Amino acid sequence: MAHYLVTGGGGFIGSNIVEHLLAMGESVRVLDNFFTGRRENLEPFRGAIDLIEGDIRSPEDCARAVADVDYVLHQAAVPSVPRSVQDPVLSNDVNVNGTLCLLIAARDARVKRVVFASSSSVYGDQEADWKSEDLLLSPLSPYAANKAAGEYYLRAFSTCYGLETVSLRYFNVFGPRQDPNSPYSAVIPLFIRAMLEGQKPTVHGDGLQSRDFTYVENVARANVLAATAAFPAAGQAYNVACGASFTLLDLIAGINEALGTDIVAEHTAARAGDVRFSKADISRAQRDLGYQVWLPFGEGLRRTIAWYQKEARRAG
């Protein structure tokens, strides 16, 4: 049995990673201050995890959280491009200073490896058919800049202190427990909620912007692979995605098909900092980590819609 720390374990991605680790029979500790995470996401697992309510910006909380831990899966962050545009200081404080604080604690505790949740947003809007790890980073938003800085810190800690680190660049993760009730929510839960209620989903721009939508189980599995793969982890970054791209209009069509509806979008102005096209080259993760696409977009979307339908019935 390995001992894992999941920072931000109360969040959407973090709680799915917690669930996956417990299903594997691993020991799981969670560090979360529930600023963006939700306690109810961890409720099914409360008896099976060690929960520390604390802040990654606190050296004391980080030191306590990494004690006797083998692997750190660092998911904690203030997410969202729009939120970072609105409040870049908060985003930097949590996403950069908090990551640095956690790395210092992990170094001092001599953990085996730190895996960092980075983002495809670090590539910006470069005109490349595939976003590969060989591209120069070109962040367009404070959030993307935060994630790029986090990657560089992980690499520096590997170089200077010998701490094994890996960054995973997530591409538009979706799935159960993703909150549709925030103004900063991701597009899939917003669209599903609207269309379940018979409303038109709001599309910023023409709807032809494309994303490599990635079901969250793929991300959970990728984190475990990145933590345990037998290679010298020295700050490498890997794309975690499906290697396929769908437009927002494709997404709406998929939801309509699942629901048996014919709802059209309501278009508004494009948003500052948004990337136009995004599709991942996942060959490096396949080669080094043994990563694969366990659940492609279509199946992931069906499972996600079924989860939201079940939640709606439970709430209603």
Give a yes or no: residue 100 inside a domain: yes
Give a yes or no: residue 314 inside a domain: no
* CB proximity list for 252: less than 8 A, separation 6 or greater: 191, 195, 201, 203, 207, 263, 264, 265
d(CA 122, CA 139): 5
Give a yes or no: residue 268 inside a domain: no
> Would you call 236 helix, strand, or coil by DSSP?
strand
Q: Which residue has the tokens 């500790």?
A: 29
Give a yes or no: residue 188 inside a domain: no
**Domain range for 80:** 3-171+216-241+281-294
Give a yes or no: residue 92 inside a domain: yes
pLDDT at 275: 75
pLDDT at 45: 97
- The CATH code of the domain that includes 166 is 3.40.50.720
Structure tokens at 241: 């995605």
Exposure b/e, 220-258, CB count within 10 A at least 16 = b? bbbbbbbbebeeebebbbbbbbbbbbbbbbbbbebbeeb
Verify whether residue 143 is a known catalytic residue.
Answer: yes
Give a yes or no: residue 138 inside a domain: yes
Residues 71, 143, 153, 291: which is the catalytic one?
143
> Would you call 15 helix, strand, or coil by DSSP?
helix
Give a yes or no: residue 51 inside a domain: yes
d(CA 27, CA 49): 7
pLDDT at 37: 95
pLDDT at 183: 66
pLDDT digits (tens, 9 = 90+) for 206-238: 999 999 999 999 999 999 999 999 999 999 999
Predicted structure pTM score: 0.94
Give a yes or no: residue 256 inside a domain: no
How far CA 161 is from CA of 5, 69, 147, 158, 235, in Å, comes to 20, 18, 21, 6, 12
Total domain count for the chain? Answer: 1
pLDDT at 126: 86
d(CA 90, CA 127): 30
Task: Write the DSSP symbol of residue 8.
Answer: T
Residues, the chain? 316
Query: What are the residue ranges in the chain where pLDDT is below 70?
Result: 183-184, 273
